[in-house]
């Protein structure tokens, strides 16, 4: 199970994301630097115990809209070969040392565990507590036959979010990057990962983070 260390990261996750988010095609242009607050999420465990996996939600306190931004992240002790374009940044962890922080949608470890989550093979974990399942995270999929291995997955970032494809003709996973827009999974969706986040202090909202649908 994932272990949450009560320590420091320099720079912090939010400081790394503050510079990275405005470079994403799905992030709305605001003309300013976001002021980020942590707003929810959950974790998954790497069976090898080497890679941290977090589905983090942040919100921009400087914006009038109460949107959340879903940022799946992975934390590694060494660079991920071939993933230079997906590097969010590096940070010094008070216990683990240098951590390489990646956009997890481009990390094969996160993709493998996301598939396992949809299949009901892993238990989602609380974001800020060690060895604590999060029962408010649910995941279902109506069959995943024909999905290619994770090593063959293609990932596309666009203005509508991130699309992950496990082979030609296989169902695709759409990572909903901007939360709180009122968008619901389309009729006929093959599955979804649903979790909670906080649009504002004292509130809690359940929403689809990932939707599985047939490839167009």
Check whether 74 has a pLDDT greater than 90: yes
Give the other-Cβ count within 10 Å of 23's Cβ: 8
For residue range 90-123, what is the model confidence (pLDDT) as tens digits? 998 777 779 999 999 999 999 999 999 999 999 9
Does some domain include residue 37? yes
Q: Which two tokens stand for residue 36?
A: 């980020």
* Per-residue pLDDT, 2: 64
* Per-residue pLDDT, 106: 96
Does some domain include residue 176? yes
Binned at pLDDT 50, 70 and 90, residue 168 comes out as confident
Does some domain include residue 86? yes
Does some domain include residue 4? no
* Per-residue pLDDT, 46: 94
Check whether 75 has a pLDDT greater than 80: yes
Mean pLDDT of 121-137: 91
Binned at pLDDT 50, 70 and 90, residue 36 comes out as very high
Does some domain include residue 3? no
Nearest to 200 by CA among 177, 185, 176, 179: 179
Q: What is the span of the domain harbouring residue 25?
A: 9-213
Q: Which two tokens stand for residue 85?
A: 């374009």
Does some domain include residue 1? no
Residue 216 DSSP code: -
What is the pTM (predicted TM-score) of this model?
Answer: 0.92
For residue range 44-62, what is the model confidence (pLDDT) as tens digits? 999 998 999 999 999 988 8
Q: Are 39 and 14 in contact (CB under 8 A)?
A: no
Report how far apart the first and last C-alpha atoms of the chain are (Å, whole number).
Answer: 37
Binned at pLDDT 50, 70 and 90, residue 76 comes out as very high
The CA-atom distances, in angstroms, between 86 and each of 1, 144, 153 are: 26, 26, 15
Q: How many Cα atoms within 13 Å fall on the side-chain side of residue 3?
A: 6
Task: Give the count of domains, the chain.
Answer: 1
Does some domain include residue 68? yes
Rg (CA), the chain: 16
Does some domain include residue 2? no
């Amino acid at each position: 199970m994932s272990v949450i260390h009560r320590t420091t990261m320099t720079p912090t996750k939010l400081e790394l994301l503050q510079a990275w988010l405005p470079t994403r095609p799905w992030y709305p242009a605001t003309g300013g630097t976001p002021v980020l607050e942590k707003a929810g999420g959950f974790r998954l465990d790497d069976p090898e115990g080497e890679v941290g996996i977090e589905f983090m939600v942040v919100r921009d306190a400087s914006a009038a809209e109460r949107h959340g931004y879903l940022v799946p992240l992975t934390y590694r002790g060494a660079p991920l070969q071939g993933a230079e374009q997906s590097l969010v940044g590096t940070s010094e962890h008070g216990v683990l040392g240098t951590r390489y922080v990646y956009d997890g949608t481009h990390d094969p470890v996160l993709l493998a565990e996301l598939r396992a989550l949809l299949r009901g093979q892993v238990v989602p974990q609380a974001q800020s507590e060690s060895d604590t399942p999060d029962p408010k995270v649910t995941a279902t999929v109506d069959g995943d036959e024909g999905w290619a291995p994770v090593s063959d997955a293609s990932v596309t970032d666009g203005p509508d979010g991130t699309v992950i494809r496990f082979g030609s003709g296989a169902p695709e996973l759409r990572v909903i990057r901007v939360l709180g827009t009122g968008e619901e999974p389309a009729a006929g969706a093959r599955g979804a990962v649903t979790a909670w986040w906080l649009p504002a202090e004292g509130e809690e909202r359940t929403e689809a983070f990932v939707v599985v649908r047939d490839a167009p």
